[in-house]
């Protein structure tokens, strides 16, 4: 079967009908990428939600390899505006979701108050928090506010805003022209497709904040597979608790290592998967049906690893 038709069939089998807006892009080994799009153009700029975390972590890794950031340094050294508990959190705790941080402020609270979720707002809320949820390094708990703090640490170690550092050190060198971190004040970059009606994308950076396209995200996969940034070994190293590395989950499928992360927001569901030696893929859907997107991701993994 033609590669395009094969992916289109998997999209349909996952439950996406002709009225659904979805882009699925796959690159098998060194073959040219194949992108199937329905309902929206293949190069539509979309919010990537938590897919942003692996780029935030890669920016931190670049600073670590250059000697400008120590993963063992205390959060309090970088963010003295936080309470004394920040002295017990190491940068690596933020990376691996073992910091014990609360969310600081939940989106539903902000939405009810008609406010945007911004990095400054999250950090201000954390500065008013008197205690951690758990002792640092003792419990894995997926934490968006930890990646907001990680982005702040990156900015302070780099000496410039995360959108600028990521553009100069990641997006431009790797040839990802449509990708950017977006801090607002508008809810989305010019020309991008908005998220769900009434639920604009958060403006916080690090936990999210990145807007991109399927072609650019496939390019990101290629760059990480080829270690073009020189940080692949570091960012693919899981933490001491669980299988979460630097912004990505490290899984196995029939004995094969798989690097995977999802993203979810009102009106957006995403999956980005990379399999060393086999290829990788991205799924970006303008809906919030996480199960359907994950089901398509599972089918694409099986397609990349037949007989595994």
The Cα 176–Cα 215 span in angstroms is 8
The Cα 42–Cα 89 span in angstroms is 41
Q: What is the pLDDT of residue 306?
A: 78
Whether 199 contacts 286, CB under 8 Å: no
> Per-residue confidence at 151, pLDDT binned at 50, 70, 90?
very high
The Cα 95–Cα 179 span in angstroms is 22
The Cα 17–Cα 303 span in angstroms is 20
Q: What is the pLDDT of residue 72?
A: 97
Q: What is the pLDDT of residue 113?
A: 55
Q: What is the pLDDT of residues 103-121, one digit of tens each?
A: 766 666 665 655 568 999 8
Q: Tell me the CATH number at 227.
A: 3.40.710.10
Of 261, 264, 265, nearest to 243 by C-alpha is: 261
Q: Tokens in use for 81?
A: 């505006």
Instruction: Name the residue range of residue 7's domain.
Output: 3-304
Highest-pLDDT range among 8-22, 165-179, 247-261? 165-179
Of 245, 258, 247, 167, nearest to 211 by C-alpha is: 167
**Mean pLDDT within 37-50:** 96
Of 38, 116, 56, 113, nearest to 283 by C-alpha is: 38
**Mean pLDDT within 38-57:** 97
Q: What is the pLDDT of residue 240?
A: 86
Please report the DSSP string for 134-199 in residue order: S-TTS-----HHHHHHHHHHHHHHHTS-HHHHHIIIIIHHHT-TT-EE---SSSS-TTPPP-STT-
Pairing assessment for the beta strands 210-212 and 34-38 based on DSSP bridges: unpaired
230-253 exposure pattern, b = at least 16 Cβ within 10 A, e = fewer: ebbebbbeebeebebbbbbbbeeb
Element (H, E) at 217: helix 214-225
Q: Does the pLDDT of residue 308 top 60, yes or no?
A: no
For the chain, what is the mean pLDDT? Answer: 93
Whether 39 contacts 117, CB under 8 Å: no
The Cα 93–Cα 164 span in angstroms is 25
Q: What is the pLDDT of residues 202-248, one digit of tens each?
A: 999 999 999 999 999 999 999 999 999 999 999 999 998 889 999 99
Q: What is the pLDDT of residue 289?
A: 84
Q: Does the pLDDT of residue 26 top 80, yes or no?
A: yes
Number of domains, the chain? 1
Q: Does the pLDDT of residue 266 top 90, yes or no?
A: no
Rounded to two decimals, the pTM is: 0.95
The Cα 155–Cα 235 span in angstroms is 18
Whether 36 contacts 20, CB under 8 Å: no
Q: What is the pLDDT of residue 114?
A: 59
């Amino acid at each position: 079967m033609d590669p395009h038709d094969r992916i289109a069939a998997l999209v349909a089998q996952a439950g996406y009908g002709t009225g659904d807006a979805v882009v699925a892009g796959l690159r098998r080994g060194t073959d040219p990428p194949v992108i199937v799009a329905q309902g929206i153009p293949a190069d539509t700029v979309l919010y990537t939600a938590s897919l942003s975390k692996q780029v935030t972590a890669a920016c931190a890794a670049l600073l670590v390899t250059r000697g400008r950031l120590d993963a063992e340094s205390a959060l309090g050294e970088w963010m003295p505006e936080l309470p004394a508990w920040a002295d017990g959190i190491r940068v690596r705790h933020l990376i691996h979701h073992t910091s014990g941080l609360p969310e600081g402020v939940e989106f539903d609270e902000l939405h009810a108050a008609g406010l945007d979720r911004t990095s400054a707002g999250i950090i201000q809320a954390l500065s008013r928090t008197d205690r951690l949820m758990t002792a640092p390094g003792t419990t894995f708990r997926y934490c968006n506010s930890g990646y907001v703090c990680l982005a702040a640490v990156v900015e302070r170690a780099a000496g410039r805003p995360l959108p600028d550092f990521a553009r100069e050190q990641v997006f431009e060198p790797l040839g990802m022209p449509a990708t950017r971190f977006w801090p607002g004040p508008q809810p989305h970059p010019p020309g991008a497709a908005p998220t769900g009606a009434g639920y604009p994308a958060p403006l916080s950076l690090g936990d999210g904040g990145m807007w991109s396209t399927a072609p650019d995200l496939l390019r990101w996969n290629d760059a990480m597979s080829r270690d073009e940034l020189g940080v692949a070994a570091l960012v693919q190293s899981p933490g001491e608790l669980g299988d979460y590395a630097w912004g990505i989950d490290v899984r196995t499928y029939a004995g094969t290592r798989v690097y995977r992360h999802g993203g979810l927001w009102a009106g957006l569901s995403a999956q980005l998967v990379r399999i060393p030696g086999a290829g990788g893929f991205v799924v970006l859907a303008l809906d919030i049906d996480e199960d359907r997107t994950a089901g398509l991701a599972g089918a694409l993994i099986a397609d990349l690893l037949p007989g595994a």
